[in-house]
Amino acid sequence: MKKAVADTSALISIALSGKLPEVVENIGLFAPKAVKLEIAEMAGYDDIEGGAAKNILNFIKNKKISLIEIKNEKNARDLTGKSIDQGEAECFELAAEEKIGTILMDDVNAAYRITGLAKPKNISIKISTAAIVELIKQEKLAKKQGIFALQKMVKNRQWEKGILEFLIKKYVKEI
């Protein structure tokens, strides 16, 4: 994974792992306009996620996370519905338009709905954990540091005993 489109939840998760600087240094992260708007809204809150959002906005401002406007907003709008919000829809459209093979998102329902559309376009949907695991595989991050970052992500996102914690453990076994 040299490049990935990241949605709001994935960016927040990576930031809360404490490894956003390492991720943006080693993986080209891209986000559409809707994701930036969602992050900007979150930055208005005075909590752990608001702090993470402010950090992400600095990375966008300093062009460490590339903000790209999608060309076909109608396609993205047509995707929105019960399980897929505007940010997730724009992430899919951005990946399709720019031929970026990975989308990072932590919304399991949206990921499930988008996967069927993504496969024919050779786009894989992964949870944010994949970025940390990729750094470990590239030997840009020691395994012990990576596992600590993933544990920190689980704790900060309050994913204990949930499906995302289960998926993270599955990823860790692959390292």
Question: Domains of the chain, with CATH numbers?
Answer: 3-174 (3.40.50.1010)
Q: Which residue has the higher pLDDT, 173 or 137?
A: 137
- What are the Cα distances from residue 90, in Å, to 35, 50, 81, 116, 175? 8, 22, 13, 16, 31
Q: Supply the pLDDT for residue 174.
A: 72
Distance of CA 117 to the CA centre of its chain: 18
**Among candidate residues 3, 1, 6, the one with its CA nearest the CA of residue 100:** 3
Per the document, the length of the chain is 175
Contact 72, 66 (CB under 8 A): no
pLDDT tens digit sequence for 94-147: 999 999 999 999 999 999 999 999 999 999 999 999 999 999 999 999 999 999
Per-residue pLDDT band for 46 (boundaries 50, 70, 90) equals very high
Q: What's the whole-model pTM score?
A: 0.94
Q: What is the pLDDT of residues 150-163, one digit of tens each?
A: 999 999 999 988 88
Residue type at 168 in one-letter notation: I
Count, in order, helices (H) and strands (E) of the chain.
10, 5
